[in-house]
Amino acid sequence: MSSNAEALVEGAKKWASHYGPYPNGVEGAVVTAQLRVRAGWDANDADAIADLFVDNGSMLVGDAQLSSREEIRAYLADAFAGGFQGTRLTDEPKEVRLLTDSVAIAVTEGGVVKKGQDGIEPEELARSLWVLVKKDGDWRVMSRQTSPVKS
């Protein structure tokens, strides 16, 4: 196997492990939306993340309540050029619930890993609530809100 193919296989195995208890079925498809946000964050790509949200999607980042795809895009572009530059996201699924055929909620746990660190600091652990909607056959993010986890 070529080194490029080996790298692709290893990458696929790594991402497959992030589905937690939801590797298949509709729940797995729902988790894919959250994983695509995570991949966009890891690439510090504001456009990739914003494009996963519906037009009027919302995202709470710290104290900033972002109320549209364009607000999310602008905020993250600034953040990735500044304090979030080089960060990556760890966000593992803890629960996925289908509310209808086209609406789901997911709870994840993780947070932002700072540049140069191997993992998240325990005091920075957060839980996220995702509202996801199926639009044109694809799961998209309606809302993501995070809260710190207190020990």
pLDDT (0 to 100) of residue 123: 87
Give the model's pLDDT for residue 8.
53
Listed in order, strand segments (DSSP E) in 27-85 are 53-61, 64-66
Better pLDDT: 12 or 82: 82
Q: 107, 127 in Cβ contact below 8 A?
A: yes
Over pLDDT 90: what percentage of the chain?
Answer: 68
The whole model's pTM is what?
0.86
- Residues 115-143, buried b or exposed e (16+ Cβ, 10 A)? eeeeebeeeeebbbebbbbbeeeebbbbb
In which band, very low, low, confident or very high, does the pLDDT at 15 lie, cut at 50, 70 and 90? low
Task: Show the tokens assigned to 61.
Answer: 């980042």
**What local confidence, expressed as pLDDT, does residue 23 receive?**
74
Q: How far apart are CA 122 and CA 147, in angstroms?
A: 14
- Given a cut of 70, is residue 52 above it in pLDDT? yes
pLDDT for 113 equals 93
C-alpha 42 chain-centroid distance: 10
d(CA 59, CA 112): 15
Residue 92 and residue 16 in contact, taking contact as beta carbons nearer than 8 Å: no
Residue from 81, 99, 90, 97 nearest 127 by CA: 90
Tell me the average pLDDT across 57-84: 94
Question: How far, CA to CA in Å, does 137 sit from each of 31, 51, 108?
Answer: 14, 15, 23
pLDDT tens figures, 74-120: 999 999 999 999 999 998 999 999 999 999 999 999 999 999 999 98
- Report residue 146's pLDDT band, with 50, 70 and 90 as the boundaries: very high
Residue 75 in tokens: 């905020």
